[in-house]
Amino acid sequence: MAGPSLMDSLFQRSLEDLIKGIRLHSGAGAGESSTFISKCLDEIRREIKATDPQTKTTALQKLTYLHSLHGVDMSWAAFHSIELSSSTNFHSKRIAYLAASLSFNPSTEVILLLTHQLRKDLSSANPHEVSLALQTLSSICTPDLARDLTPELFTLLNSNKGFIKRKAIATVLKFFELYPDSVRVCFKRLVENLESSDPGVVSAVVGVFCELAVKEPRSYLPLAPEFYKILVDSRNNWVLIKVLKIFAKLAPLEPRLGKRVVEPICEHLKRTEAKSLAFECIRTILTALSQYEAALKLAVGKVREFLVEDDPNLKYLGLQALAIVGPKYLDAILENKEMVIKSLSDDDVNIKLEALKLVMAMVSEDNITEICRVLMNYAIKSDPDFCNEILGSILSTCSRNYYEMIIDFDWYVLLLGEMSRVPHCQKGQEIENQLVDIGMRVRDVRPELVRVGRDLLIDPALLGNPFIHRILAAAAWVSGEYVEFSKNPFELMEALLQPRTNLLPPSIRAIYIQSSFKVLAYSAYSYFFPDEVVAQSSHELAGSLHNVESSDYLSGAAVTDTDPDQSFNPRMPHESLRDNSVDKGKDIITDCENVPTASLKMDRYPQDSFAQMLNIVDMTFTPLLGCHEVEILDRVTNVLGLVELIRLEIRGCEIQKEVDNVREELKAAQVIRLMHNAFSEELGPVSLMAQERVPLPDGLELKENLSDIDEICGNFTITISSSFNLERPWSREKDAIILSEHQNKEVVEQSNDSTSVLTEHRKRHGLYYLPSEEKETVSSDYPPANDLSLPDKTNDQTDDLFKLTEQSLVPKKKPTAKPRPVVVKLDDGNSIHIVEKKPEMKEHLISDAVRDVLLGNDAAPSSSRTTKSDKLSSRVTRKDLLVSATEQDSTTLGRSDKNSRRNKHRSHGKEKSHKSSTKVAGDPEEKSKPKSSHSHGKHKSRQRANSAVNVAAQSPVIPDFLL
């Protein structure tokens, strides 16, 4: 495409015209604005190819504007930026460098073409061009540019222009990171600038060392005297802040250093009125000088001044300081607990988060119940984001290290159920994981876990909240897995089959179907094998009534006939075994003790409820046979197959009773027994390292296509051996004993709200429920999801919450009514840790180079030279020139012409070849020479001999006058 014509150059659109056009077209719509920008880009592509520098400059200026504000790609104009950077017009050069700093990146192919122009501008007599080149170089620097331009930067570190020297010092940090060998050239001159009379230069140098000390502080211990002098003499708050950051890293490495600097830091803390400097002094004392009691008390006293400030920034800093001192000095948090609790109601989100961290830091086994109760009240009143922060903090703290702080797991499971009903709760996945994990690890809590899961499943209003679907999945899973702890499986089946379950996603609904399958299998087993169930129920009843004297029932607690958790026995009518009066309760105990176990069998065989359950299951799941979801279809087929087996068994039993009144076990009954025993198997937690411990079989061949599976198996068929038996394991029998111990205390704790909710829902959808004998009230509307009317809530006033919290934060030992349940743990100390090999970091290369310079090993080769790529290792002569630059005069190094560089390159090559030839010949003088064969090697060794630094020292040396 030809360049722009003369008329196009004369009527070229300026940057102001471009901005006005964009604003004019933006009012017409987004489409008009995009069209105008595309038109302007076409003009820029033509104008930027013009030979006129002014036209090219204007085009590049407009392109830079579009790139900065509208995200237009300008990588195609990289060469034009380099071309325009060589202009003698400073305005054009400035626009070219600006475009390069905004659009260039390490992958830009033409970036090396800018090397010569940068070197020329860095050596320019115009300080503004030097400043512009330094600013661009700090933005687009690459390892190649850092290697080639290190001599020029070394010269600028001694510039007589203050703003040039400051920019050069700031650019040094970028060079050190990208090219660690530049440390050997520039580090000494960087240290010399610490004694500069210009405060701006000292501030820039301290800033560089502050960044370097964060990565590898031990290398900078020999510079402690210089930093100490700045700490004592400087009155610049920002310089002092940076020096304090450096000493915060150095003091833990050298105890004697902390003893020396603690007094000046305390003096600054007492004297200064600047809050920024005071906070840095506090943080330095709390993190690095906490072993000095006087300084620690002074810092804690200053922290309270931050907490009482009205400025939210200062209050936030005070909370941060308390968070730092908390792990080592918990009394500091307890002394300021009033301000911490009030901060939970602050308008600033950051302040509330810091206060929440401090509250969670005070949690212990003694006060975890009270603190969680207070935080739950704050969660109900808070906005959605902070509410979930509170819930997440409670979950993470309580589950830490296998729930080590939880003593009463019944309380914690109930707390998880309350979390599910908190408005704005979005922690469904975490609550789901903990409900399942606790069920598998803590055997004693399973009865309470089933009860909490039943309360969640029974509420149809919760099904419309997508944030708690995962919690409902966990509730369904525990209800099916531990169904033997449920006292009314019929009601549990109603909850799992309620019509609003179609609101659940397919993955959650599949869990519901699988749980209903387990409930149906357990109910069928209880129905067909009453002798085993009655024997177990009588044992549980005897154990339950044996402890009823110590329960709440004899103290006046009553349980009505509508209690949903009464003992389940399909052959016994649902009658209450407890009465409101104490005397009648004692009579029941006396009567039941005299009743033999055999008399508990019922001659009457009620089939109505169980038959209705089968009908409801059949009617609910039959329409799902046309579902396209594989997980749902597979489980529905299993449930319907089990229903058919049960119906065949019922008909077979009726026929046998009519013939000879002798009942024989049919095949279907055997399947139900096997299925029940299979579901009774203990399901424990699986180790994270379990898969890694499975050895890989020899000769294992994994094929992608398994179409030849029939040929591999042949006529092999799997048969069940007669010796195969899935009897109830001992662990489940132990669970049955646990059940009898927990049945007494569960009846009173049942919520009447959940029963009324199910009653209302049953009235609406009576077709889907089993017939009920009780009279139920009718409600016109569903209850609201996440109802705020939770029982036993404290007052919502902040003062009442503070009073409750103030009592909760005081550590106190409460007597426990029962020992802590056993929590199953796996892989204690036997975990397999896979350590990945980390690549060598450039920070280590920088620290090695710094040690060599400070200890006098300037000529020692850097490890980076052996690990560099082929591109860097191929330029050995250039590196030798950089090493020699430390001993040459700065003016000579900065103004060396091309001929001198070429002569040096040739001389280095000759010396290198001469060195290799003498080494092969075995010249004895070679052993006495230093490792570097350059002409300046002797001069450097002579300097090291005259210096007072011990070359063989392996640790940094700090002068005694400082220590």
Query: Looking at residue 721, what is its pLDDT?
Result: 42
| 543 and 672 fall within a common domain | yes
Lowest model confidence (mean pLDDT) among 26-35, 360-369, 707-716: 707-716
| Matching residue, tokens 């710094």 | 850
Handedness of CA 811, 817, 823, 829 (dihedral sign): positive
Residue 515 to residue 584: CA distance in whole angstroms: 39
Query: Looking at residue 271, what is its pLDDT?
Result: 93
- Where is mean pLDDT largest: 21-35, 81-95, 860-874? 81-95
pLDDT category of residue 391 using cuts at 50, 70 and 90? very high
Q: Which residue has the higher pLDDT, 524 or 607?
A: 524
For the chain, the straight-line distance linking the first and the last C-alpha, in angstroms and rounded, comes to 73
Q: What is the mean pLDDT of residues 310-334?
A: 86
- 26 CB burial (10 A radius; 0-12, 13-18, 19+): middle
Lowest model confidence (mean pLDDT) among 459-463, 589-593, 696-700, 824-828: 589-593
What tokens does 136 get? Answer: 């661009």
Q: What is the mean pLDDT of residues 878-894?
A: 40
Q: Are 751 and 558 in contact (CB under 8 A)?
A: no
Query: Looking at residue 119, what is its pLDDT?
Result: 95
pLDDT category of residue 611 using cuts at 50, 70 and 90? confident
Task: Decide if 450 is inside a domain.
Answer: no
| 666 and 529 fall within a common domain | yes
| 785 and 860 fall within a common domain | no
Lowest model confidence (mean pLDDT) among 65-74, 256-265, 317-326, 474-483: 317-326
Q: Over 50: is that where the pLDDT of 845 sits?
A: yes
pLDDT category of residue 647 using cuts at 50, 70 and 90? confident
Task: Decide if 269 is inside a domain.
Answer: no
Query: Looking at residue 644, what is its pLDDT?
Result: 86
Q: What is the mean pLDDT of residues 332-349?
A: 87
| 317 and 377 fall within a common domain | no
Task: Decide if 569 is inside a domain.
Answer: yes
Lowest model confidence (mean pLDDT) among 438-452, 624-638, 657-671: 657-671
Residue type, 104: F
Query: Looking at residue 747, what is its pLDDT?
Result: 42
| 432 and 405 fall within a common domain | yes
Q: Are 755 and 455 in contact (CB under 8 A)?
A: no
Handedness of CA 419, 421, 427, 432 (dihedral sign): positive
Q: Among 723, 718, 749, 728, which residue's Cα sits nearest to residue 682? A: 728
pLDDT category of residue 508 using cuts at 50, 70 and 90? very high
**Residues 6 or more apart whose Cβ sits within 8 Å of residue 806:** 337, 338, 341
| 318 and 382 fall within a common domain | no
**CA geometry: angle 352, 358, 359, nearest 5 deg:** 85
Query: Looking at residue 334, what is its pLDDT?
Result: 82
Lowest model confidence (mean pLDDT) among 379-383, 526-530, 759-763: 759-763
Query: Looking at residue 532, what is its pLDDT?
Result: 65
Q: Over 90: is that where the pLDDT of 567 sits?
A: no
Task: Decide if 63 is inside a domain.
Answer: no
Q: Over 90: is that where the pLDDT of 869 sits?
A: no
pLDDT category of residue 891 using cuts at 50, 70 and 90? very low
Q: Are 959 and 225 in contact (CB under 8 A)?
A: yes
pLDDT category of residue 194 using cuts at 50, 70 and 90? very high
Task: Decide if 57 is inside a domain.
Answer: no
- Where is mean pLDDT largest: 24-38, 703-717, 725-739, 940-954? 24-38
Query: Looking at residue 887, what is its pLDDT?
Result: 43
Q: Over 70: is that where the pLDDT of 468 sits?
A: yes
Q: Over 90: is that where the pLDDT of 164 sits?
A: yes
| 510 and 406 fall within a common domain | no
Residue 843 to residue 962: CA distance in whole angstroms: 27
Query: Looking at residue 804, what is its pLDDT?
Result: 56
- 109 CB burial (10 A radius; 0-12, 13-18, 19+): exposed
Mapped onto helix, strand or coil, the DSSP state of residue 446 is: helix
Q: What is the mean pLDDT of residues 226-254?
A: 94
Query: Looking at residue 237, what is its pLDDT?
Result: 94
User: Would you say how long the chain is, in residues?
Assistant: 963
Mapped onto helix, strand or coil, the DSSP state of residue 351 is: helix
What are the angstrom distances between the C-alpha of 630 and each of 476, 477, 633, 963? Answer: 19, 19, 5, 75
Query: Looking at residue 736, what is its pLDDT?
Result: 47
Q: Over 70: is that where the pLDDT of 371 sits?
A: yes
Task: Decide if 729 is inside a domain.
Answer: yes
Q: What is the mean pLDDT of residues 263-267?
A: 95
| Matching residue, tokens 């600028």 | 156
Lowest model confidence (mean pLDDT) among 152-156, 197-201, 544-548, 660-664: 544-548
Q: Over 50: is that where the pLDDT of 836 sits?
A: no
Task: Decide if 10 is inside a domain.
Answer: no
Query: Looking at residue 762, what is its pLDDT?
Result: 60
Lowest model confidence (mean pLDDT) among 449-458, 493-502, 762-771, 848-857: 762-771
pTM above 0.85, yes or no: no
Query: Looking at residue 654, what is its pLDDT?
Result: 56
Question: For residue 760, what are the domain limits?
Answer: 688-694+721-809+822-834
pLDDT category of residue 407 using cuts at 50, 70 and 90? very high
Q: Over 70: is that where the pLDDT of 606 sits?
A: no
Residue 440 to residue 443: CA distance in whole angstroms: 7
| 544 and 648 fall within a common domain | yes
Q: Are 168 and 157 in contact (CB under 8 A)?
A: yes
Q: Over 70: is that where the pLDDT of 826 sits?
A: no
Query: Looking at residue 628, what is its pLDDT?
Result: 87
Domain-terminating residue out of 680, 705, 735: 680
Residue 288 to residue 276: CA distance in whole angstroms: 18
The count of structural domains within the chain is: 5
Residue 942 to residue 945: CA distance in whole angstroms: 5
| 357 and 391 fall within a common domain | no
Q: Over 60: is that where the pLDDT of 513 sits?
A: yes
**Residues 6 or more apart whose Cβ sits within 8 Å of residue 315:** 306, 307, 309, 343, 346, 348, 351
Q: Over 90: is that where the pLDDT of 175 sits?
A: yes
Query: Looking at residue 936, what is its pLDDT?
Result: 45
Lowest model confidence (mean pLDDT) among 215-224, 248-257, 372-381, 529-538: 529-538
Query: Looking at residue 387, what is its pLDDT?
Result: 94
Query: Looking at residue 505, what is its pLDDT?
Result: 92
pLDDT category of residue 817 using cuts at 50, 70 and 90? low
Q: Are 168 and 150 in contact (CB under 8 A)?
A: no
Residue 620 to residue 731: CA distance in whole angstroms: 34
| 727 and 794 fall within a common domain | yes
Q: Among 473, 463, 468, which residue's Cα sits nearest to residue 761? A: 463
Mapped onto helix, strand or coil, the DSSP state of residue 329 is: coil
| Matching residue, tokens 């080149």 | 133
- 931 CB burial (10 A radius; 0-12, 13-18, 19+): exposed
Q: Are 449 and 478 in contact (CB under 8 A)?
A: yes
Percent of the chain at pLDDT exceeding 70: 63
Query: Looking at residue 841, what is its pLDDT?
Result: 56
Residue 128 to residue 118: CA distance in whole angstroms: 13
| 381 and 345 fall within a common domain | no
Query: Looking at residue 801, what is its pLDDT?
Result: 54
Q: Over 60: is that where the pLDDT of 871 sits?
A: no
Percent of the chain at pLDDT exceeding 90: 41
Q: Over 60: is that where the pLDDT of 167 sits?
A: yes
Query: Looking at residue 318, what is its pLDDT?
Result: 92
Q: Among 99, 89, 184, which residue's Cα sits nearest to residue 140? A: 99
Residue 843 to residue 284: CA distance in whole angstroms: 24
As a whole number, the mean pLDDT across the chain is: 74
- Where is mean pLDDT largest: 350-364, 763-777, 920-934? 350-364
| 518 and 587 fall within a common domain | yes
Query: Looking at residue 434, what is its pLDDT?
Result: 95
Task: Decide if 875 is inside a domain.
Answer: yes
Q: Over 70: is that where the pLDDT of 576 sits?
A: no
